[in-house]
Structure formats: structure tokens, C-alpha cells
Amino acid sequence: MGSVQQVGVVGCGLMGAGIAEVAARSGGNVVVVESSDDAAKAGLARLETSLGRAEAKGKIESASVVLDRIEVVTDLEALADREVVVEAIVEDEDAKTALFRRLDEIVTDPGAILATNTSSIPVMKLGVVTSRPQQVMGIHFFNPVPVLKLVELVPSLLTADETTERARGWVEGQLGKQAIDCQDRAGFVVNALLIPFVLSAIRMMESGFATAEDIDRGLVLGAAHPQGPLALADLIGLDTVQAVAESLYEEFKEPLYAAPPLLARMVDAGLLGRKAGRGFYTY
């Protein structure tokens, strides 16, 4: 496969919209599928806002030209002719496996890459529900997608080498990202290191050892982190932090991966961080 022109994205939340944006900015024709008309409208508004900001900063010449390459729909059948489809829906194994079964039925290109943007669910579990596990792999972007350069490439034991290299060509050659190779283990490279660090900060606050502000200030001023771990948790979304922690704990059974009670209570209360207006901080 040469350059990828036909890109599909499932989900137009923060991650899905970001993936659609970078694909369209690189010249691709992008179809994004959302679950409802309201979600599609919200996703399109998210794209318009982000691209407008990029144009104002001189990152792109014309937001409208890029938007013309993106279609947001509610019918998965619109992905039939795609060369690469990236799943970016809720971090739930049952939802993702059901989606990959449908994509396997719908996508007609025999060489299409079916990719997941999961941050924690083993790629193998998604590949084996399809008839083409050799073309299923993880392509894990980082939020905010238009800004952060890193992409983790995660083949399963059944992913063909050719699939991985074609994905690398798309990610690095067309999207202008930098890829690292990861084994198909929960958390991959970044989250397997990052999430225990964030959980440790939550435990420190939970125990009364230090305030959220002092923990974050310590890491910013003392370790040159761009933001502290609790502010970062709010940015990621506390529900996502919890979901990744649970996947890591399920895989490794190590105490450092266990979600602290405070995190679970905050998620139950809907205090999910920036997207909810309140987490460890109020926004």
C-alpha cells in the first residue's frame, strides 16, 4: 500500500476528533462515525474549534479546507472503503470487541488495517474476534493528538509484520508523528510507567501526607515536569485513569496498579477532571 488516502475513525470524542484532525491535515479523506446525531454534532463542533485555533496560530493555512476532508456520520457502513480504520471509543473491552466484529464485516478493502487506540486493553483480544487478526493492531495516540508527537505501535502475536510497517509508514511518513514499538501488554510503554506514578500521587494525597497543590508543585518545580501528576490525572480523565489501572491490575496483579479508593469514589461521584469541571481541581 502506498500513501493512505481513505481513513476511518470510530468515535469523535477528544481522541477520535484529534486523530481525524491530524489525518485530514495530512491530506487524507476522513470519515468519522459517532453513535448518535447529537454526538456527531458535538464531534464536528470539537473539530471546528480545534482547527479554528490551529488556523489562528498559523499551524494550518485554512480550517475550512481541512474540514472539507472530514465527514462525521452515524452509520458504520460508511467505513466500507477505508484503508485504515482507527477505533477510539470508550475504554470498555465488550464495546470494543463488538465493534471489531462489525468492522470485520463492513470494511471491504482486503488489506485494510483495523487499529485500536486503546490505552490498556490487549490488542489480541480485539484481533481474535475478526477473521483477519493479522491486520489488527494498536495505534495508540496521545492527547492532545494534534500537539503530541508520540504514537505507540502495538502488534499482537498474530499481527503481520507488513501491517506494522504499513502503519509506521502512515504514522511517521504522512501524519508526521514519531512511533515507538511496544509489546501487546496492558499499558504498553507509557501508561505502564505513567499510571502507577499517578496512582502513587493519589495515594499520597488520600493519606493526608500532602495536598494536591503541594504534590503537583513538587513535581513541577523539583523534577521539571510540565504539570503535576494530579493535574495530569484531571486532564486524562479520572475514569480513564481508573480504567487503565484496572486493566493493568487485571494483567499483572501488582499492588502498584490497584486503583486507590479515593479514585473510585471520585469516579462514582462524576468528578472526572477537566471534562466534568471538577476533579482534584475545579475548572
Q: Quote the pLDDT of residue 121.
A: 87
The string of pLDDT tens digits covering residues 119-144 is 888 999 999 999 999 999 999 999 89
Q: Is residue 119 annotated as part of the catalytic site, yes or no? A: yes
* Residue 30 confidence (pLDDT): 98
Catalytic residue among 120, 140, 156, 247: 140
Asked if 140 is an active-site residue, the reply is: yes
pLDDT at res. 21? 98
Q: How confident is the model at residue 255 (pLDDT cuts 50, 70, 90)?
A: very high
pLDDT value of position 238: 97
User: Would the CATH topology of 6-181 be identical to that of 190-274?
Assistant: no
Q: Mean pLDDT across the chain, nearest whole number? A: 96
> Across residues 53-81, what is the average pLDDT?
96
Q: Average pLDDT for residues 208-233, to the nearest whole number? A: 98
Q: What percent of the chain has pLDDT over 70?
A: 99
Marked catalytic residue, from 117, 152, 156, 247: 152
Query: What are the structural domain ranges in the chain?
Result: 6-181, 190-274
Q: Which of 26, 29, 191, 247 is catalytic?
A: 191
Paired with 81 in beta bridges are: none
Please state, in angstroms and rounded to a whole number, the distance separating the CA atoms of residues 48 and 90.
22
Chain position carrying cell 458504520 = 76
Instruction: Encode burial over 74-89: b for 16+ CB neighbours within 10 A, e otherwise.
Output: eebebbbebbbbbbbb
Considering the domain 6-181 in this protein, what is its CATH number? 3.40.50.720
Per DSSP, the three-state class of 282 is strand
With 0-12 / 13-18 / 19 or more C-beta atoms within 10 angstroms meaning exposed / middle / buried, residue 222 is exposed
Active-site entry in 119, 120, 156, 247: 119
Q: In the CATH scheme, what architecture does the domain 190-274 have? A: Orthogonal Bundle (1.10)
pLDDT score recorded for residue 120: 80
Whether 1 has a pLDDT exceeding 80, the answer reads no
What does the pLDDT average to over 191-213?
97
* Calculated CA dihedral for residues 127, 128, 131, 134, nearest 10 degrees: 50
pLDDT number for residue 177 = 98
